[in-house]
């Protein structure tokens, strides 16, 4: 990629905040990203996705937008539909690809069709439990999938509302916790193993996997607190997995990126199980960019600079 | 070569007392709660928009010109003598007669609480607190590794019989009780007030057991009916340490609170304050002193009371007409807060994200206990939103609770798995 001189990129808007549960994380991501770009002397403005956004974008259209909105609107394609309507170029996947990636069960079936392994699961909306009765349905889920189970909202991020269930009796509470963050729950067989995240960036239009980052939470779960606060989550780069597993993981992340029609950047969360098999969990179209996030760690592990990496992605959208 | 790193590279270097200081995911939700789209019944911010800001601006301007050389200089850790004299006049409204010599000015009453815990509490010592209790106090007690033992309260405040039983049990167990922390008037978060009869009983019990009482009274002058309640300190100067604050009666931005303590305790507090902050914010002290000397502050408190009473009425009326059966709540006669109890089996903390999605915020009850109680409770504040917004907020909340009852009936539980961390908002959340 040509090292473009900064003035040519023009005015860049980093979209951060929004009204999702991940507002706080998004604001932190936005500040981090803006700082990284400003250190390259780029003209960067951070904007919230609120009632003033449309007027501002129309009054002074930016040369490019970098969305770091997490959660709904940021990742479900909506904000990108809006940017398309305004003819504003932006970094990242288009709306349709976002919609597919955002819906975890849909993303799982797409990557499964592309040849990836993903843990067996069932996705059920709240109403089904209400209408048909929860007890029998949950019994059936347990006997079909086996314990332990992983319960998470079918759409959503930052591990909000997730639980590991080791006893069938704990499943109802896990469902209640999950439905706090969405109206459909993905119940998945919990795969024990090494939890890794593989970030992907595009170079000259080709997706390239960055080194896998291994996550070792202090507790059982890499939950919201472990992600952003606790301080005792450990990250290992590159992940302590076999060369073969590392190759498979890189392939899986690139395959997911391609199969889901993603663009510019993504982060795929995977588990390498006891026999070295790589399992797809989910993909993020607007990966976290906070000081504790995985994507920036992968960029650093690859010997790259976050600001320059993002600048190159912006340049590609600005001058397609 | 594998690189190991952590979310916090200093994670294994912190003192034991800092290890548990983690914000929960619920706290992060308050980033959304402070957006204008959300009706926040969560924060405890006083409505300072009701202050005559231009008049105060003129006063501060004049203060800087006239006395800037003093007001911008270092000052003593005990606080400005003239301000301390004015503070004694304020306390006299609640029957407290103390000497300015026994007053120490603090950075909000929160610092007084911090200093008192610092000088009295060793790790493992017992501190008694109401159930529920003020979250900022619980945070301080946790910081000094106190063992908080809760004493229940009801609509008439702390229950004396329960206090007696608790003290007797702790005595049998050979536990050391350092003090009872109480907010007797318009309690945060419960909104209840200790009755006059119970005040006498509480003082008798504590005197009999040799237990010091810390009376935290930030809302005492914000009663909606009649004269201010007589403070505990008024009837037992030797065993009660009184904490006061201008945060609710004037403005929290100056961060001026105080403690009135027995002489020897006050002397230790001053030394502790010197180690903590060296010197007080002189400018803030001069500002509050000037305000008390030149402005009609009694009148201002009266207009605060009227405003908060109207908001309290709006909240109680809305709760009465909209909340589903099975919910109960307190009826505060002053202060900022209503304490709501959800129907059996519901979990206010688990419900919080759904409420935020419906654009209404409250504080889950668990933050007001040191021992995991409070899952069925929430604190609703009426101090900040306008009455129409309060009604809209309660309407949204009622609809969330109705769906929550349905969820509980579906799954046989309304409780989600326990999550750790601080799950109350910061003080700057409206």
Identify whether residues A104 and A215 lie together within a single domain.
Answer: yes
User: Average pLDDT of B233-262?
Assistant: 96
Would you call B421 an interface residue with chain A, using a CB distance cutoff of 8 Å? yes
User: Average pLDDT of B289-317?
Assistant: 96
Hey, which residues of A are catalytic here? 22, 158, 293
Radius of gyration of chain B (CA): 22
**For chain B, domain boundaries:** 16-51+299-406, 73-294
> Is B229's pLDDT higher than 80?
yes
Tell whether residue A273 is among the known ligand binding residues.
no
**How far is it, in rounded angstroms, from Cα A69 to Cα A285?**
10
Residues in CB range of B322: below 8 A, 6 or more apart: B394, B395, B398
A–B interface: beta-carbon pairs under 8 A: 131
> Is B399's pLDDT higher than 80?
yes
pLDDT digit string, tens, across residues B116-133: 999 999 999 999 999 999
List the domain range (segments joined by +) for residue A246.
Answer: 99-116+192-285
- In angstroms, the separation between the Cα of residue B244 and the nearest Cα of chain A is 34
Measuring CA to CA, how many Å separate B327 from each of A1, B340, B406? 62, 7, 14
**How far is it, in rounded angstroms, from Cα B140 to Cα B21?**
11
- Answer left, alpha or beta for residue A193, where phi above 0 means left and psi between -120 and 50 means alpha: left
Please tell me the predicted confidence (pLDDT) of residue A231.
67
Residue of chain B minimizing CA distance to A164? B417
Please tell me the predicted confidence (pLDDT) of residue A2.
45
**How far is it, in rounded angstroms, from Cα B28 to Cα A23?**
8
Q: What are the backbone angles phi and psi of residue A140, rounded to the nearest 5°?
A: -65, -40
Which element (helix H / strand E) includes A225? helix A224-228
Would you call B7 an interface residue with chain A, using a CB distance cutoff of 8 Å? yes
Please tell me the predicted confidence (pLDDT) of residue A1.
45
- In angstroms, the separation between the Cα of residue A314 and the nearest Cα of chain B is 28
**How far is it, in rounded angstroms, from Cα B266 to Cα B121?**
16
CATH code for the domain in which residue A32 is found: 3.40.50.20
- Write down the mean pLDDT value for chain A: 92
Identify whether residues A180 and A249 lie together within a single domain.
Answer: no
DSSP three-state, residue A62: coil
Buried b (16+ CB within 10 A) or exposed e, B331-357: ebbbbbbbbbbbbebbbbbbbbbbbbb
> Is A230's pLDDT higher than 70?
no
User: Do B22 and A234 lie within an 8 Å CB cutoff?
Assistant: no
Of A23, A230, A240, which has the smallest distance from its Cβ to B2's Cβ?
Answer: A240
User: Average pLDDT of A31-50?
Assistant: 95
Identify whether residues A61 and A17 lie together within a single domain.
Answer: yes
User: Average pLDDT of B414-418?
Assistant: 81
Buried b (16+ CB within 10 A) or exposed e, B31-67: bbbbbeebbbbbbbbbbbeebeeeebeebbeebeeee
A72 confidence band (pLDDT: 50, 70, 90): confident
User: Average pLDDT of A35-49?
Assistant: 95
Residue A306 included in any domain? no
Residue A319 included in any domain? no
Number of domains in chain A: 3
A157 confidence band (pLDDT: 50, 70, 90): confident
Residue of chain A minimizing CA distance to B359? A19
Q: What does DSSP assign to residue A8?
A: G
User: Do B354 and A225 lie within an 8 Å CB cutoff?
Assistant: no
- In angstroms, the separation between the Cα of residue B20 and the nearest Cα of chain A is 9
**Torsion sign (Cα): B246, B185, B220, B266:** negative
Residue A257 included in any domain? yes
Please tell me the predicted confidence (pLDDT) of residue B43.
85
Beta bridge partners of B107: B256
Residues in CB range of B425: below 8 A, 6 or more apart: B27, B30, B33, B42, B43, B363
Longest dimension (CA), chain B: 74
Q: Which of A177, A302, A303 to probe by mutation at the B interface, max B CB count within 10 Å?
A: A177
User: Average pLDDT of B137-154?
Assistant: 95
> Is B194's pLDDT higher than 60?
yes
Q: Would you say how long chain A is, in residues?
A: 320
Identify whether residues A218 and A158 lie together within a single domain.
Answer: no
DSSP three-state, residue A121: strand
pLDDT digit string, tens, across residues B82-99: 999 999 999 999 999 999
Identify whether residues A228 and A105 lie together within a single domain.
Answer: yes
Closest CA to B360 of B344, B343, B340: B340
Identify whether residues A73 and A46 lie together within a single domain.
Answer: yes
Identify whether residues A162 and A178 lie together within a single domain.
Answer: yes
Residue A78 included in any domain? yes
User: Do B11 and A231 lie within an 8 Å CB cutoff?
Assistant: yes
Identify whether residues A167 and A154 lie together within a single domain.
Answer: yes
- In angstroms, the separation between the Cα of residue B361 and the nearest Cα of chain A is 12
Measuring CA to CA, how many Å separate B293 from each of A2, B59, B90? 69, 11, 12
User: Do B421 and A301 lie within an 8 Å CB cutoff?
Assistant: no
DSSP three-state, residue A311: helix
Portion of chain B with pLDDT greater than 70, in percent: 97
User: Average pLDDT of A53-75?
Assistant: 92
CATH code for the domain in which residue A132 is found: 3.30.1490.20
HEC readout, chain B: CCEEEECCCCCCCCCHHHHCCCECHHHHHHHHHCCCCCEECCCCCCCHHHCCHHHHHHHHHHHHHHHHHHHCCCCCCCCCHHHHHHHHHHHHCCCCCCCHHHEEEEEHHHHHHHHHHHHHCCCCCEEEEEECCCHHHHHHHHHCCCEEEEEEEECCEECHHHHHHHHHHHHHCCCCEEEEEECCCCCCCCCCCCCHHHHHHHHHHHHHCCCEEEEECCCCCCECCCCCCCCHHHHCCCCEEEEEECCCCCCHHHCEEEEECCHHHHHHHHHHHHHHHCCCCHHHHHHHHHHHHHCCHHHHHHHHHHHHHHHHHHHHHHHHHHCCCCCEECCCCECCEEEEECCCCCCHHHHHHHHHHCCEECEEHHHHCCCCCCCCEEEEECCCCCHHHHHHHHHHHHHHHHHHHHHHHHHCCCCCCCCCCECCCCCCCC
Radius of gyration of chain A (CA): 19
For A193-202, B4-13, B326-335, which range has the lowest pLDDT when averaged over its residues? B4-13
Pairing of strands B147-154, B126-131: parallel
pLDDT digit string, tens, across residues B254-275: 999 999 999 999 999 999 999 9
Is 3.90.1150.10 the CATH classification of the domain at B16-51+299-406? yes
Please tell me the predicted confidence (pLDDT) of residue B430.
53
Measuring CA to CA, how many Å separate B36 from each of A303, B30, B359, B429? 42, 12, 9, 12
Identify whether residues A112 and A246 lie together within a single domain.
Answer: yes
> Is B428's pLDDT higher than 70?
no
Better pLDDT: B21 or B197: B197
Please tell me the predicted confidence (pLDDT) of residue B148.
97
CATH topology of domain B73-294: 3.40.640
**How far is it, in rounded angstroms, from Cα B367 to Cα A209?**
43
DSSP three-state, residue A231: coil
Please tell me the predicted confidence (pLDDT) of residue A20.
81
ipTM above 0.95, yes or no: no
Give A156's contacts in chain B (Cβ within 8 Å). none
- Answer left, alpha or beta for residue A47, where phi above 0 means left and psi between -120 and 50 means alpha: beta
pLDDT digit string, tens, across residues A126-152: 999 999 999 999 999 999 999 999 999
Q: Would you say how long chain B is, in residues?
A: 430
Residue of chain B minimizing CA distance to A292? B7
Domain boundary among A160, A189, A218: A189
Give the CA dihedral B113, B118, B124, B129, nearest 10 degrees. -10
**How far is it, in rounded angstroms, from Cα B56 to Cα B68?**
16
Q: Which of A176, A218, A230, A303 to probe by mutation at the B interface, max B CB count within 10 Å?
A: A176
Q: Which of B24, B411, B429 to probe by mutation at the A interface, max A CB count within 10 Å?
A: B411
User: Average pLDDT of A82-106?
Assistant: 96
Of A163, A172, A231, which has the smallest distance from its Cβ to B7's Cβ?
Answer: A231
User: Average pLDDT of A50-64?
Assistant: 93
**How far is it, in rounded angstroms, from Cα B302 to Cα B280?**
29
Identify whether residues A125 and A161 lie together within a single domain.
Answer: yes
Give B32's contacts in chain A (Cβ within 8 Å). 19-21, 23-24
**How far is it, in rounded angstroms, from Cα B188 to Cα B60?**
31
Identify whether residues A202 and A280 lie together within a single domain.
Answer: yes
Identify whether residues A145 and A85 lie together within a single domain.
Answer: no
Residue A292 included in any domain? no
Whether residue B132 has a cis bond before it, omega within 30° of 0: yes
Q: Are B217 and B229 in contact (CB under 8 A)?
A: no
Residues in CB range of A131: below 8 A, 6 or more apart: none
pLDDT digit string, tens, across residues A288-297: 999 889 999 9
DSSP H helices, A71-151, are 78-85, 95-102, 104-113, 126-132, 134-145
User: Do B412 and A177 lie within an 8 Å CB cutoff?
Assistant: no
> Is A45's pLDDT higher than 90?
yes
pLDDT digit string, tens, across residues B319-355: 999 999 999 999 999 999 999 999 999 999 999 989 9
User: Average pLDDT of A40-46?
Assistant: 95
> Is B217's pLDDT higher than 60?
yes
């Amino acid at each position: 990629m040509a090292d473009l001189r900064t003035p040519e990129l023009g005015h860049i808007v980093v979209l951060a905040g929004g009204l999702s549960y991940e507002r706080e994380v998004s604001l932190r991501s936005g500040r981090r990203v803006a700082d990284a770009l400003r250190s390259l002397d780029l003209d960067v403005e951070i904007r919230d996705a609120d009632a003033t956004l449309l007027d501002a974008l129309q009054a002074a259209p930016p040369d490019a937008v970098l969305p770091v909105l997490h959660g709904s609107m940021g990742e479900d394609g909506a904000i990108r539909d809006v940017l398309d309507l305004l003819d504003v170029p932006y970094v990242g996947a288009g709306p349709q690809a976002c919609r597919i990636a955002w819906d975890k069960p849909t993303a799982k079936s797409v990557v499964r069709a592309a040849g990836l392994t993903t843990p067996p699961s069932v996705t059920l909306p709240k109403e089904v439990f209400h209408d048909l009765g929860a007890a029998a349905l949950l019994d059936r889920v347990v006997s079909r999938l086996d314990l332990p189970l992983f319960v998470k909202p079918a759409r959503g991020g930052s591990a909000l509302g997730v639980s590991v269930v080791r006893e069938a009796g704990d499943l109802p509470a896990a469902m209640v916790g999950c439905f706090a963050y969405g109206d459909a729950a993905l119940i998945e067989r919990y795969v024990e193993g090494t939890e890794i995240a593989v970030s992907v960036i595009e170079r000259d239009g080709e997706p390239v996997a960055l080194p896998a980052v291994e996550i070792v939470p202090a507790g059982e779960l890499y939950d919201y607190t472990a992600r952003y606060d606790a301080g005792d989550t450990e990250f290992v780069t590159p992940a302590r997995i076999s060369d073969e597993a590392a190759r498979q993981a890189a392939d899986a992340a690139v395959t997911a990126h391609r199969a889901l029609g993603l663009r510019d950047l993504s982060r795929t969360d995977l588990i390498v199980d006891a026999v070295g098999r790589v399992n797809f969990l989910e993909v993020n179209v607007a990966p976290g960019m906070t000081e504790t996030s995985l994507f920036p760690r992968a960029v650093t592990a690859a010997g790259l600079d976050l600001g320059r990496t993002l600048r190159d992605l912006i340049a590609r959208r600005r001058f397609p | 070569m594998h690189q190991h790193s952590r979310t916090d590279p200093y994670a294994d270097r912190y003192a034991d007392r800092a290890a548990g200081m983690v914000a929960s995911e619920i706290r992060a939700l308050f980033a959304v709660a402070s957006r204008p789209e959300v009706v926040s019944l969560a924060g405890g911010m006083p409505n300072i928009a009701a202050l005559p800001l231009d008049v105060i601006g003129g006063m501060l301007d004049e203060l800087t010109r006239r006395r800037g050389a003093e007001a911008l200089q270092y000052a003593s850790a005990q606080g400005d003598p003239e301000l301390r004299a004015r503070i004694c006049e304020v306390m006299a409204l609640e029957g407290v007669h103390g000497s300015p010599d026994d007053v120490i000015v603090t950075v909000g009453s929160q610092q007084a609480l911090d200093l008192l815990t610092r000088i009295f509490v060793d790790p493992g010592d017992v501190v008694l607190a109401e159930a529920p209790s003020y979250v900022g106090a619980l945070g301080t007690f946790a910081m000094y590794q106190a063992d908080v033992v809760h004493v229940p309260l009801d609509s008439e405040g702390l229950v004396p019989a329960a206090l007696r039983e608790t003290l007797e049990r702790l005595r049998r167990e050979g536990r050391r009780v350092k003090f009872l922390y109480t907010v007797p008037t318009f309690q945060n978060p419960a909104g209840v007030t200790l009755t006059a009869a119970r005040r006498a009983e509480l003082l008798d019990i504590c005197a009999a057991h040799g237990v010091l009482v810390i009376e935290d009274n930030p809302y005492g002058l914000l009663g909606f009916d009649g004269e201010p309640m007589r403070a505990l300190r008024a009837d037992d100067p030797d065993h009660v340490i009184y904490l006061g604050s201008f945060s609710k009666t004037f403005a929290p931005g100056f961060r001026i609170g105080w403690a009135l303590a027995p002489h020897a305790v006050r002397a230790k507090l001053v030394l502790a304050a010197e180690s903590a902050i060296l010197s007080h914010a002189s400018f803030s002290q001069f500002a509050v002193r000037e305000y008390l000397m030149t402005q009609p502050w009694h009148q201002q408190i009266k207009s605060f009371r009227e405003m908060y009473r109207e908001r309290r009425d709006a909240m109680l009326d809305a709760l009465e007409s909209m909340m589903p059966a099975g919910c109960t709540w307190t009826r505060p006669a002053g202060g900022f807060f209503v304490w709501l109890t959800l129907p059996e089996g519901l979990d206010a903390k688990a419900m919080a994200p759904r409420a935020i999605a419906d654009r209404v915020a409250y504080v889950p009850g668990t933050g007001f206990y040191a021992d995991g109680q409070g899952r069925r409770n929430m604190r609703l504040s009426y101090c900040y939103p306008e009455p129409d917004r309060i009604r809209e907020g309660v309407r949204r909340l009622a609809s969330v609770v109705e769906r929550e009852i349905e969820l509980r009936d579906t799954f046989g539980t309304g409780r989600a798995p326990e999550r750790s961390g601080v799950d109350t908002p910061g003080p700057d959340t409206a």
